[in-house]
Amino acid sequence: MTAIADSHTPTSPDAARVVRDNLFLHFTSHTGMTGDDVPVIVRGEGAYIWDSHGRRYLDGLAGLFAVQVGHGREELAQAAARQTRELAYFPLWGYAHPTAIDLAERLAIAAPGDLNRVFFTVSGGESVETAWKLVRQYFKATGKPTKHKVISRSMAYHGTSMGALSITGIPAAKADFEPLVPSALRVPHTNFYRATEHADDYDAYGRWAADRIEEAILFEGAETVAAVFLEPVQNTGGCFVPPPGYFQRVREICDRHDVLLVSDEVICAFGRLGYDFGAKRFGYQPDIITTAKGLTSGYAPLGAVLISDRVMEPFRDGQTFLHGSTYGGHPVSCAVALANLDIVEREGLYDHVRANEQAFRATLEKLYDLPIVGDVRGTGYFYAVELVKDKATKERFTDAEATRILKGHVSQALFEAGLHCRADDRAEPVIQLAPPLICDQTQFDEMEQALRHALTTAWALI
C-alpha cells in the first residue's frame, strides 16, 4: 500500500514558510521545523484524505477519533449553511435556541438511565472541566463540602485545561504546568496484557482493578472523595478494555461511598464501540457522561455533559451553576450534530460497527506473526497494537528505543504507505487505529498491509 496521487486543492506557495514561522501546531515539536516537513491535508472524502501534493491516505484515526460518518458529507455542510442563514449565533446564557433544544432532547432520550439534562460545551476537555466543577458544586449544595477529590486511572487522558489536566494520569503531559489543581488521585488501569496481579484470570484481574478504587476512597476518606472519572475503553496506553464485571463493581463501590461515577466518553460515544454510549456497551449506569468528537463527526466543535436527575436536583432548587462559555451549544454546531446523528441512524452505523468489529480484530491479529507485535486489543472500531522487544517474555523497549522506532521510523513509514493513524509512546509503544465507522474489510486490509510493511522494516532496524 502506498499513498495514491490524485487531484488536490492547491495551497499557497508560501505555505511552508507560514507553517514554519506563524502556525503553532498542537502537541508537536517545532525544533528544526522547515515547514516543508509538515503534511498539509487539504481534502477528505469517505475514509480517505488528500495532502497538498495530491497523495491519498486512508484515515485510520478518523481525524482524531472523531469523523464517524467519514469525510466530505455534503449533508453536514448543508445543515451548517442552513443554520447560518437562519441563526448564525446566539449564546445559551439565559436563552435557548431551537437546535440546542432539539439536540438536548435527542441526547436525553438516547442516554442510559435518567441522564436527562444536557450542558453543552465546545470540546471534550471542556466537558471534563465542566463535570468536575459540577460535581464539586453538587456536593457543596447537598451539605457535603469536603467531598471534592476525584479519582482517575494511571495514564488516562482527560484533557489539557488545568482541571482536566489534573485528572489526566500522564505525568509527562503535566510536568511543565505544575502545580495543578490539587485533589486528583490515580488508580491502576486495566491493561491485562501487562498484569502482574491475577495475570492468569481475567475476571479476577477486573475485580482487583476495581477494588483499587475502593482502596483509594477509603485511604483518602470517603467524606473527601467526590467522583471517579473513567473512560469506557481507556485511550492512552492503547485501548485498555475493561474486564467483565469491572464497571459493575465500580458502580457498587461508588454507591457504597456516595461517590459519583463520570463516564468520560469523549472518544467512546456515538459509535466508536458500536453503541451510542460506551456505558451501554459495558452495561453500567453513570451519574454523568462527558462527550464531544463523534457528536458532530468533527465537522463542528461541540461537546456535551449529560447529567442525572440526582445531580441536577440542587440546580432546580436555588443553585446557579456559574459556568459556561461563549460558544457552548453553538446553533450551527448543534445543527451539524443533529444532521450527523441522522446519518448515523439512517445508515445503521452502530449495527455496522458491531457486525464488522470481529473482522477488524481478525485482520489486525494477522500481525501476530511479526516478532515485534506483542498484543492486539480493543473493541468496536477502536484498536491498538502494542510493540515489544521480545514476544515470548513481553520485554519492553527502552524509552530511547521506543522513540527511535515509533517517531524515527514507524510514523513516517505508515504515512508513506498511505495510512494516517497514531504511533504513541506515552506508555507502552502502541499504534492506535480508530477509522471512520463507514469502513469495512477493504479498509481493514489496507491498514493491515501498511502496518505489516512498517513493522517489518522497523524490526530490521532493531
pLDDT attached to residue 345:
98
- What is the 3 state secondary structure string of 315-336? HHCCCCCCCCCCCCCCHHHHHH
Looking at this protein, which amino acid is placed at residue 409?
Answer: H
pLDDT attached to residue 8:
47
Helix (H, G, I), strand (E, B) or coil at 444: helix
pLDDT attached to residue 14:
85
The helix (run of H) or strand (run of E) holding residue 151 is strand 149-153
pLDDT attached to residue 402:
87
Strands in 117-121's sheet, in edge-to-edge order, are 117-121, 303-307, 288-291, 260-264, 225-230, 149-153, 184-187
CATH architecture entry for 76-346:
3-Layer(aba) Sandwich (3.40)
> Tens place of pLDDT for every residue, the chain, 462 residues?
566 656 445 456 688 889 999 999 998 888 888 988 899 999 999 999 999 999 999 999 999 999 999 999 999 999 999 999 999 999 999 999 999 999 999 999 999 999 999 999 999 999 999 999 999 999 999 999 999 999 999 999 999 999 999 999 999 999 999 999 999 999 999 999 999 999 999 999 999 999 999 999 999 999 999 999 999 999 999 999 999 999 999 999 999 999 999 999 999 999 999 999 999 999 999 999 999 999 999 999 999 999 999 999 999 988 999 999 999 999 999 999 999 999 999 999 999 999 999 999 999 999 999 999 999 999 999 999 999 999 999 999 998 888 888 888 999 999 999 999 988 877 789 999 999 999 999 999 999 999 999 999 999 887
Going from N- to C-terminal start, the domains of the chain cover 15-72+349-460, 76-346
pLDDT attached to residue 6:
60
Q: How far apart are the first and last CA of the chain?
A: 23
Contact of 229 with 168, CB cutoff 8 Å = no
pLDDT attached to residue 2:
60
DSSP state of 3: P
Domain spanning 15-72+349-460: which CATH class is it, in words? alpha beta
Q: DSSP alpha helices (H): ranges in 11-160?
A: 15-21, 62-65, 74-86, 98-110, 124-141
